[in-house]
Amino acid sequence: MVAAASGDYQQLFPSKNFMELDSEVLNAVDQYYDQERIAKLIKNSEPSDFSNDYLISVCEFGAMLGKLFADLERFGWLYSTPYFNSIIVHKDSGYGITVFDWAVKKFSQYGFDDGFAAKYKSVLARVEQGS
């Protein structure tokens, strides 16, 4: 899913090198998917089609968030089935981060403008303070 996200994000931003996912990519994708684009994505996605663009976008965004955390040695994946029930766990504190839930909120009316790069950095700071 991370490789698929990298490829799709590179297509969204062909003038940038987004083959490596980082907080810059997170911010660019977060800003790209504004309320209007998300509404169009939802409208054009057939709910019974498990390969619809909305579902793929949510899963790719969640996988990217998870990768950003998991790239840091102090975090790791707690895998589950289906994979979108997997969470990121801070190894020292056990604090769980539901990255796919974050992605669902991003691609809904509830959290489309939360600012996920800032949210990511804020969670890193809070987890470090609490551990």
pLDDT in tens, 63-97: 999 999 999 999 999 999 988 899 999 999 999 99
Which 8-state DSSP code applies to residue 97? Answer: E
Rg (CA), the chain: 15
- Listed by start position, the domains of the chain span 2-130
What is the model's pTM?
0.91
Where do runs of H (alpha helix) occur along the chain? 2-12, 23-32, 35-43, 53-70, 99-106, 116-130
* Cis bond before residue 82 (omega within 30° of 0): yes
Asked whether the beta carbons of 22 and 68 are under 8 A apart, the reply is: yes
Q: What does residue 110 show for φ and ψ, rounded to 5 degrees?
A: -65, -40
91-94 long-range Cβ contacts below 8 angstroms, 24+ apart: 92/131, 93/127, 93/130, 93/131
Q: In the prediction, which pLDDT does 131 show? A: 56
Summarised one tens digit per residue, pLDDT across range 6-45 is 889 988 888 777 777 888 899 999 999 999 999 999 999 9
d(CA 27, CA 85): 24
CB-based contact 127:72 (threshold 8 Å): no
Cβ neighbour number for residue 4 with a 10 Å cutoff: 12
